[in-house]
Copies of this chain bind each other. A is one copy, B any other.
Amino acid sequence: MNQEVKFLGIAHTSFKTVPEVPRCAKDCTEESTVTFYPEYSDCLVGLENFSHVFVFAWMHQSDRDLQLVRPHFGAAKKDIGVFATRSPARPNPIGMTLVKVNKIEGITLYVTGLDLLDGTPIIDIKKYDTTLDTPDM
């Protein structure tokens, strides 16, 4: 019933160990790159027209058996489910980060705000769409 997720590219950041990765993505202000495998180059066509995209990563060093975590925000000192958090530990360690697109050169995407460990596999990119990605208030 399960399926295979394909690794499409690799994140290159300055964060070489888990403690170095910013806890809040908005604190990540450096430029990083994603290098895609050449066979996926067509997926990038037209991406230069977007100021922001979501980067989806496979957080390969995360615990996949953890379902409850103690959040580092809020006053409540109790565990909550990983779906109610953005914890990297979850059954499918999919990370999602909204980043600023700086430029694209060939199969390399230059972005600002990528809060990933250096070497993390990338599994998807999606255009940011204000209409879809903001709740109706």
Contacts and interface: CB of A to CB of B under 8 A. Distances in A.
Interface of A: 1-8, 24-26, 40, 42-47, 49-54, 56, 58, 60, 64, 67-68, 79-86, 90-92, 94, 96-98, 100, 121, 123-129, 131-136
B124 A8 contact: no
Nearest to A45: B81
Tell me how many chains of this kind the complex includes: 2
B52 A135 contact: yes
Given A45-B79, A45-B84, A126 B96 contact: yes
A5 B109 CA distance: 25
Contact of A100 (B56, B124, B128, B135): B135
B92 A126 contact: no
A51 B135 contact: yes
